[in-house]
Amino acid sequence: MIFDTHAHYDDEAFDKDRQELLGQMGSAGIGGIVNVGASVRGIRASQELAQQYPFIYAAVGVHPDEVGALDEKTLLWMYELCRRPKTVAVGEIGLDYYWDKEAHEFQKQWFIRQLQMAKDTGLPVNIHSREAAQDTFDIMKKYHAGTTGGIIHCFSSSAQMALEYVKLGYYIGIGGVVTFKNARVMKEVAAAVPIERIVVETDCPYLAPAPNRGKRNSSLYLPLVIEEIARIRGMMAQEVESAVWENAHQVYAKLRRA
């Protein structure tokens, strides 16, 4: 069985066939999905999907591009959702200097507040970092390392940085990018990180693996990611599949208690 640790099935890209697509997951070997909140709307939608589908779980968090929507009242509401049985993480949270939709200091402020929410509610984190590798790492090390753990989602920095996160107790999220021919650094990450610290994800509808690059992504394509990780590491695909399934249940501790 395969566990997709980071998806966005609430996205409008799935509006026409969401129910049909999700209905295929069990027969395709997809045993679990975490639908990750990225906005206030996305948080609500993730909760709804988690209630509707037994194999879908929710993460509660606001993406750095959307933190302008946050205030104290909304944060209290998020705390309440974090305590629901099928909420398994705080995410996706972090820093994004690529789009620069919010001031860097403002992003940092709400990143730290949401890290605190994870600690207060005992949930792991799901971290977004784009063009902000060092600032993200510094904040994680200062404000969260050694507490509730989590995943560095859609990891895009160096293998050396990935190993530094592993030393702090985090898991590295690997998705479709690892299958791209020009993804040299991501392939180095997949080779360097201990298999015990790798999880797989889609970030769907984005980042579909080759040969589907540019198309709408879904959890059904995760075998392609697993096969590429196996090829890079000289392992059998089934070995990788079993390892990343176990790893997802380790990082999302609520799954083990379900």
Paired sense of beta strands 87-96 and 150-152, if any? unpaired
pLDDT tens digits, 215-238: 999 999 999 999 999 999 999 999
User: Do residues 59 and 37 make contact, with C-beta atoms less than 8 angstroms apart?
Assistant: yes
Superfamily of domain 2-257 in the CATH hierarchy: Metal-dependent hydrolases (3.20.20.140)
Tokens 């066939």 belong to 17
Give which of 182, 181, 169 is closest to 127, Cα–Cα: 169
User: Do residues 233 and 243 make contact, with C-beta atoms less than 8 angstroms apart?
Assistant: no
pLDDT tens digits, 163-183: 999 999 999 999 999 999 999
pLDDT tens digits, 5-36: 999 999 999 999 999 999 999 999 999 999 99
User: Do residues 223 and 237 make contact, with C-beta atoms less than 8 angstroms apart?
Assistant: yes
pLDDT tens digits, 82-117: 999 999 999 999 999 988 889 999 999 999 999 999
Tokens 């709307």 belong to 41
The structure tokens listed for 232 are 């890079």
The structure tokens listed for 205 are 């509808």
pLDDT tens digits, 113-149: 999 999 999 999 999 999 999 999 999 999 999 999 9
Give which of 80, 104, 88 is closest to 56, Cα–Cα: 88
pLDDT tens digits, 189-202: 999 999 999 999 99
* pLDDT value for 37: 86
- Checking if the pLDDT of 251 tops 90, the result is yes
Q: CA-CA distance, 91 to 128, in Å (whole number)?
A: 8
| Whole-number percent of the chain with pLDDT over 70 | 99
Q: CA-CA distance, 228 to 1, in Å (whole number)?
A: 17
Burial zone of 67 (CB within 10 Å; 0-12 exposed, 13-18 middle, 19+ buried): buried
- Checking if the pLDDT of 78 tops 80, the result is yes
* pLDDT value for 258: 60
Q: What is the mean pLDDT of residues 48-74?
A: 97
